[in-house]
A and B are shown apart, each in its own frame.
Chain A
Amino acid sequence: MKKERSKKYRIIQAFRILSQAIFFSLFIYLLLQTRFPGEDYIGQVETFFHFDPLLALATFIASRTVFFSFIFAAATILITFVLGRVVCGWVCPLGTIHQFFSFIFKKAKLLKPKKNPAGPLSWKYYFLIFLLASTLLTLDLVGIFDPLSLLYRSFAGSVLPALRYSFNALIDLFYKLKLLSIGDSLVQFLERLAINTTFFQGFFIGAIFIGLVLLNLTRERLWCRYLCPLGAFLGLISRWNVLKLRIDPQRCIECRLCTIHCQTEATPFPNEEWKSSECDYCFTCSSICPTDAIRFPLKPAPEDVKQVNLSRRKLIFTSLLGAIAVPFFRFSPSSRHSSPKLIRPPGALPEEKFLQKCVRCGECMKVCPTNALQPALSEAGPEGLWTPMLVPKIGYCEYYCSLCSQVCPTGAIKELTVPEKIKVVIGTAWVDKNRCIPYSMGTPCIVCEEHCPTSPKAIKLVNAEVKLPDGTIKSPACPVVVIDLCIGCGICENKCPVVDKPAIYVTSVGESRSDKNQVLLDIFLPEELE
């Protein structure tokens, strides 16, 4: 018998790698395009998310509302229904990263594929059930673990900032070497990319991402095999797909190469052990087979394919766990009471609805022109982990910008036009007279008033008497916040010259989205200010 690898499947494999490269590049391209485009409205840079059926399902169940853009997820479901988990093998950018590193680790002999992997394939299914059970009870944690969301958040909040820092070091070097023109053009190029570099959680988000990549040292594509909830979801609906693996027993020499190198532990050999729900159709097995014994014939007829063993007991147990998680994530007061620091982006739905819809992808944080939007840690309670909040000390809400509301893939931040946005109040500014330069030292300043973007300004200057240490009295122009006009954008806090702890600061009170988080019963505009 002729011993030869299949040319056909090697070509298919090459196409698969090409497809991965294209989709990964597209993902990165859209990521980099998620920035101020030079005009008020940005295109569909968040499209990737709309093809994600898990996010579609979870936000639909948790919020009990339909978000029309998720219609594209139907395409992913349909493809998976017919062809199995091809999306995992050919499209998913996180899968591509894992596979790329698995490949590198294998080449570097850091990862030695096991003869009999037999890992906990069922974990991801239980995990999915856990997540969906809590989603059913309105707690939406899916976004933390969804692969697209995870990847986007990791790149926007950690990988890109780290790259930007490295580039800065490189640029420093160019300037030190007096290669000024190279330095200049690199700086201008990077400025145009407008990458936000400051993220509170950047270290942890990055550490988790690197950790997940390093897991590939133990098993190829470990995340995809055992953990990915989207992979589990697609696995569940792929049972009836038409692409079935067949090993020609005449040709097979039982070398087990296919099973050893199977990326996702679908166990091609022995044939009856092959699990279609685990196969991501990378065609590694069929192209690696030394005798060209593996085929993927179309078999539309349903047949009994081996499944991952899921125990009914554990399924019930994990769904109960999902239910228990709901109060557990919520008994902290911060999740339902207004927290002063929890300044949500303009257009954010009322907190309860917002938490049900936000998938923590980080699109809003990427697009924010001032780096103001930060992933929350505990400010929104445990359930609000990595949801966006505005931190005025880092950045402020740019007056004529509604980009975060435009890129939000789930409508957790309601899409706003610029004229709509400038009417939205996200908080209120307060003067700390003890620290304010004119109030406490009698020295002129007015920086907050100068930067206040509303017209008329929400900060008025009033001459107040200040007693200085030597007893003399001065009456400098001091800032007073006009609460009816303040939108809480935070530029005053951001630009305050008292840099460590600004003498004017914004808290969430007065935010348009809440009935309860308000100060005054009657809001009216004094006529002279109109």
Chain B
Amino acid sequence: MKRRAFLKEVTRGSLLLGLSPSLFAQEKSFPDLTLVQGDSPGAITREAILALGGIKRFISKGDVVVVKPNIGWDRAPEQAACTNPDVVKTLVELSFEAGAKEVKVMDNPCNPAQRTYARSGIAQAAKDAGAKVLFPNRHRLKKMALRGEWLKEWEVFTDFVQADKIINVPIAKIHSLSRLTMGMKNWLGALGGNRNQLHQRLDQAMIDLSAFFKPCLTLLDGFRILIRNGPQGGRLSDAKLFKTVVAGVDYVAVDAMGASFFGIDPEQLPFLEVAHQKGFGQIHLEQLTIEKRTV
């Protein structure tokens, strides 16, 4: 966002706030998390955003939006290794409905991008909704100061930093090191460099990265979740049809909710526990207002 536009919005916003305090009150009344269940990945995504206050709460007119799914593996949607394509598509559609100027969809996958983008169905779905689907471009990598506790600097695809808004849209999967991979782990896909070294202190890396990237919204795809052989699965029985999405601004809370899909107490997950202690977000679900809907 340009500085002038920003100042304009701030002025307009403060004027509005001054004029009608009720608007502020309404802002407060949004739930922390929305959890929507249903048979259509697209419909539950739409409903989850609606319940959270509608897409216009997050995306403004003229925004350049980056939607960051997990497109890590050369796997089909039924295998639940990548974010559901209809979920991604719906988020692209919603962004345009809110007046986004441009929506980019990209990830830095583990298998070749040409394959993962195609087989996951995400490239086609996102293109159908009008998004630009971009292969990772090493020319757009830039070593950035992450100022994390462990990660001081790392190569980041600048698309994720230069965008006006980022929507993080991970899928919930089991993982043999962090136990679960959801929103916080999804940021590894925004990096270049020797990412595999991050596994040496993966929980810390996830925390450092989460403190760096600033998604306006995190939507966890639990339409199918991966319950075995993570993070790739393979057999259809490795995936479980769960028909759920969770959305929220508090990405720690979203991941904490995701942990419950697997019957895991969020406090048992070091990355969530530490993130909570550092004040990044809430992991005690009982302290959150959660709106549950079914469509």
A residues whose Cβ falls under 8 Å from a Cβ of B: 35-36, 38-39, 171-172, 175, 183-184, 187-188, 191-192, 194, 369-370, 398-401, 437, 443-447, 449-457, 461, 477, 495-497, 499
Contacts and interface: CB of A to CB of B under 8 A. Distances in A.
A500 to B, nearest CB: 12
Interface string B141-179: 000000000000000000000000000000000011100
B200 A171 contact: no
Interface of B: 74-75, 110-115, 118-119, 134-135, 137, 139-140, 175-177, 194, 196-197, 199-202, 228-229, 231-235, 238
Nearest to B203: A444
25 contacts: A36-B115, A171-B139, A175-B139, A191-B114, A192-B114, A369-B115, A370-B112, A398-B74, A398-B111, A400-B75, A400-B115, A401-B74, A437-B200, A443-B200, A444-B177, A444-B199, A444-B202, A445-B196, A446-B176, A449-B176, A451-B232, A455-B232, A461-B176, A477-B176, A497-B196
Contact of B137 (A188, A369, A443, A447): A188
A434 B217 CA distance: 44
Contacts of A444: 177, 199-202
B238 A446 contact: no
A187 B202 CA distance: 31
Contacts of B229: 455-457
B139 A183 contact: yes
Nearest to B202: A444
Contact of B112 (A36, A445, A456, A495): A36
B156 to A, nearest CB: 16
A184 B137 contact: yes
A447 B139 contact: no
- Please list the 6 inter-chain residue pairs (A to B) with the smallest Cβ-Cβ separation, ordered nearest first: A455-B234, A191-B135, A497-B196, A38-B118, A447-B196, A455-B235
B202 A455 contact: no
A369 B118 CA distance: 13
A495 B137 CA distance: 20
A188 B201 CA distance: 33
Contacts of A455: 228-229, 232-235, 238
A38 B124 CA distance: 10
A183 B140 CA distance: 10
B177 A187 contact: no
A47 to B, nearest CB: 23
B200 A445 contact: yes
Contacts of B197: 497
A477 B202 CA distance: 14
Contacts of B228: 455
Contacts of B75: 400
Contacts of A369: 112, 114-115
